Amino acid sequence: HIDEVVHSWPGRLCCSRFDEETGAFLTIAVDSTQRGPAAGGTRAMVYESFGDAVRDATRLASSMTSKMVAAGLPMGGGKSVIALPVPRAQLEPEVWQRILDRHAENLAMLNGSYFTGPDIGTGPADMDVLHQRCGFAFGRSEQAGGPGSSAPETAHGVYVAVRAAAREAGMPELDGATVVVQGLGAVGMDVARRLAGQGARLVAADVDALACERAADELGARIIGVDDVLGFAGDVFVPCAVGNMVDDVVASGIDTRVVAGAANNVLASDSAARVLSRRGIVYAPDFVANGGGAIHLIGREVLGWGPEKVAAKVEDIAHTLERIFRTARALRISTDEAAHRLVRESLDQAAA
Ligand code: NAI
Ligand code: PHE
C-alpha cells in the first residue's frame, strides 16, 4: 500500500503518528499549498489497515486541491484521517478527547500550512476543541463563534449539481423522477428532502436502520438494502455515503441516467468515469458537486462572506458543471477528465 501511495501521489507532505495509549493512527496529508494554506476535513473511522488510512488521506487531500480550484477558493488541499481502533460511537469520551489532543498537537506542528474541518466521524463540537487547542480548524459551532456545520451548504450544492446533471441528461424537471440516495446522514438526508420537495420519488439505503426509518416516515422514501443500491434502476443515483464505491464493474451496472452526489472520491478509478461516459451516464464530478461545504467554511471564515454570498457561490456550481459538460462533449472525454483538465489549466495559469 505504502509503495503504491509513494509512487502515485504527487502531494507535498504526508505525516503519520501512532498513539499507543488509544490505538489510534493519525495521518495528515498536505497535497498542495500553491494557492494558499491547505484545508480539508478530519475523517475518523475504522480502516482495515494503516496503509488504507494513508492511501485514503492522500487521495482525499488531492481531491481537496481540485475542489478548492473548481470552487475558486484561495486555498490548497489537505486531509486528516484518524484510523480508530473501534467505531467512533463505541469510543469512551475521554479516549476520543485524548485522540483529539494528539491531532491538535500534530496540527500545531504544521503551524498553519494546513487547516482542518469536519468530515465523516467529526463535527462542529470537535472543531471547537481543535480550534481551542491550536487554532487551525474551520467549522466551529455557532455557539463557539464559528459558522456551524458545512452539511446544509454541501447538500444545497449537491442539489444544484443533481439538477444541472439531470438537465444535461435531458431531464429538465425532477417531478416524478426516481432518485436513488445512498447514505442518509447529514448531507444525504438533506439532499433527499430537497429532491422530495421537487416531486422526486425517493429510493434510499443506509446501514443505519434509524436513518432509513426517518427517511421513510418523513419523506415517504422506499427503503432498499445497502447491497441493492448500486445498480438499482432509476433516473438519478446520489451517492452520499463513503467513497470508492464505483469501480469499473459497478460503473458497468449502474442503471440511472445521472450520477451526482456528495461522497468524496466516489469513483474508485479514472477508468470508472470512462465506463460511465461510454454508457451515456452523466456524471457530475464529486469535487465539483460537493464543493458547497468548502465554500461555506472558507467563504465564512477566510473570505468574510455572509450567508447570502455563500449561497450565491454554491449556486455557481451549476455553471461550473455546465462548462465541464460542454468541454466533455466537445473533446469527447469523460466529465471527470474534463473537470481535471479545468483544474490543471487553472493551476498552470496561476503558476505561469
Ligand atoms: P455522515 O457520516 O453524516 O453520513 C454518512 C451516512 O452514510 C451515514 O448515515 C452512514 O450510516 C451511511 N453509510 C455508511 N456506509 C454506507 C453504505 N455502505 N451504504 C449506505 N449508507 C452508508 O456524513 P455526511 O456529512 O453526510 O457526508 C456524506 C459524504 O459526503 C461523505 O463521503 C463526506 O466525505 C462527503 N462530504 C461531506 C461534506 C460535508 O460538508 N458534510 C462536504 C463534502 C463531502
Ligand atoms: N470535509 C468537507 C469536504 O470534504 C468539508 C470541508 C471543506 C472541511 C473544507 C474542511 C475544509 O469538503
Q: Can you give the residue range of the structural domain that contains 118?
A: 2-61+77-134
Strand spans (E) along 160-265: 178-182, 201-205, 222-223, 236-239, 258-259
Q: Is 197 in the same domain as 323?
A: yes
Answer whether 19's CB lies under 8 Å from 96's CB: no
Q: Which helix (H) or strand (E) holds 245?
A: none
Question: What is the pLDDT, as a whole number, of residue 172?
Answer: 96
Q: How far apart are the first and last CA of the chain?
A: 34
Answer whether 130's CB lies under 8 Å from 138's CB: no
Number of separate domains in the chain: 2
pLDDT of 192 higher than 80: yes
Catalytic residue at 313? no
Which residue shows C-alpha cell 441493492?
228
Answer whether 302's CB lies under 8 Å from 68's CB: no
- Residue 179 three-state SS: strand
Q: Is 36 in the same domain as 104?
A: yes
Cell of 252: 458497468
CATH number of the CATH domain containing 201: 3.40.50.720
Q: Is 94 in the same domain as 217?
A: no
Question: What is the pLDDT, as a whole number, of residue 292?
Answer: 98
Find out whether the beta carbon of 190 lies less than 6 Å from any atom of ligand 1: no
Q: Is 116 in the same domain as 161?
A: no
Strand spans (E) along 96-254: 114-115, 178-182, 201-205, 222-223, 236-239
Q: Is 110 in the same domain as 186?
A: no
Question: What is the pLDDT, as a whole number, of residue 342?
Answer: 96
CA-based nearest residue to 313, from 149, 67, 137, 41: 67
Q: Is residue 71 part of a domain?
A: no
DSSP assignment letter at 88: G
Question: What is the pLDDT, as a whole number, of residue 239?
Answer: 98
pLDDT tens digits, one per residue of 259-285 = 999 999 999 999 999 999 999 999 999
Q: Is residue 257 part of a domain?
A: yes
Using the atom order of ligand 1, give the atom closest to the CA of residue 153: 40
pLDDT tens digits, one per residue of 209-224 = 999 999 999 999 999 9
Q: What is the mean pLDDT of residues 170-198?
A: 97
Query: For a substitution probing ligand 2, which of 150, 286, 298 has the most ligand atoms within 8 Å of its CB?
Result: 150
Question: What is the pLDDT, as a whole number, of residue 83?
Answer: 98
Answer whether 141's CB lies under 8 Å from 124's CB: yes
Question: What is the pLDDT, as a whole number, of residue 4?
Answer: 74
Using 50, 70 and 90 to split pLDDT, how confident is the model at 57?
very high
Q: Is 128 in the same domain as 171?
A: no
pLDDT of 2 higher than 80: no
CATH number of the CATH domain containing 102: 3.40.50.10860
Query: Residues 17, 150, 242, 325: what is their CA dihedral angle, to the nearest 10 degrees?
Result: -120
pLDDT tens digits, one per residue of 114-156 = 999 999 999 999 999 999 999 999 999 999 999 999 999 999 9
Q: What is the mean pLDDT of residues 74-93?
A: 97
Please give the Cα distance from 183 to 192 (Å, whole number).
10
Q: Percent of the chain at pLDDT above 90?
A: 95
Answer whether 150's CB lies under 8 Å from 137's CB: no
Q: Is 155 in the same domain as 268?
A: yes
Counting ligands in written order, the one closest to the CA of 152 is: 1
Find out whether the beta carbon of 184 lies less than 6 Å from any atom of ligand 1: yes
Q: Is 82 in the same domain as 198?
A: no
Pocket around ligand 2: residues whose beta carbon is below 6 Å from it? 39-41, 117-119, 138, 150, 264, 290, 293-294, 297
Q: Is 214 in the same domain as 333?
A: yes
Question: What is the pLDDT, as a whole number, of residue 351?
Answer: 79
Q: Which helix (H) or strand (E) holds 120?
A: none
The chain-wide mean pLDDT, for the chain, equals 96
CA-based nearest residue to 263, from 59, 78, 107, 85: 59
- How many residues make up the chain in this entry? 352
Q: Is 167 in the same domain as 128?
A: no
Q: Is residue 305 part of a domain?
A: no
Using 50, 70 and 90 to split pLDDT, how confident is the model at 350?
confident
Q: Is residue 212 part of a domain?
A: yes
pLDDT of 74 higher than 70: yes
